[in-house]
Amino acid sequence: AQKITQTQPGMFVQEKEAVTLDCTYDTSDPSYGLFWYKQPSSGEMIFLIYQGSYDQQNATEGRYSLNFQKARKSANLVISASQLGDSAMYFCAMREGWGGGYQKVTFGTGTKLQVIP
């Protein structure tokens, strides 16, 4: 079974508009973390935002926010006020376990976001 599911292979958004990228996950570990990464064409994975399984509030980092719905096992990324530089692949990932050397991170298949001027 897929541990991380991203159902949107590609998305378009108008510049300055908000966009939501979907992510659902599956784990039986009570301690886990959810990440979003941005991968431009250059290849480097850029960390955007993190949500821990015990965090009570949704994570926010500048224009990025994570809509964490634990009961539904979803962790959608919301990008507000899209910019042309936001065009890239976006990956949702999950870390199971905690502590040094005991984490395994699983990535989804990614969503390609294109921002239209």
Partner 1 sequence: DAGVTQSPTHLIKTRGQQVTLRCSPKSGHDTVSWYQQALGQGPQFIFQYYEEEERQRGNFPDRFSGHQFPNYSSELNVNALLLGDSALYLCASSFSGEEAFFGQGTRLTVV
Q: Which residues bind partner 1 (CB under 8 A)?
A: 4, 33, 35, 37, 42-47, 50, 91, 95, 97-110
CB of 102 to partner 1, least distance (A): 6
CA 85/CA 3 separation, integer angstroms? 29
Closer residue to partner 1, CB minimum distance, 19 or 23: 23
CB of 87 to partner 1, least distance (A): 16
Which amino acid would we find at residue 52? G
* Residues linked to residue 116 through DSSP beta bridges, in sequence order: 14
Closer residue to partner 1, CB minimum distance, 10 or 17: 10
CA 33/CA 53 separation, integer angstroms? 6
Tell me how far apart the terminal alpha carbons of the chain are, to the nearest angstrom: 38
CB of 83 to partner 1, least distance (A): 22
Look up tokens 């809509």; give the residue. 67
Closer residue to partner 1, CB minimum distance, 18 or 54: 54
Closer residue to partner 1, CB minimum distance, 44 or 57: 44
CB of 32 to partner 1, least distance (A): 10
Contact 77, 48 (CB under 8 A): yes
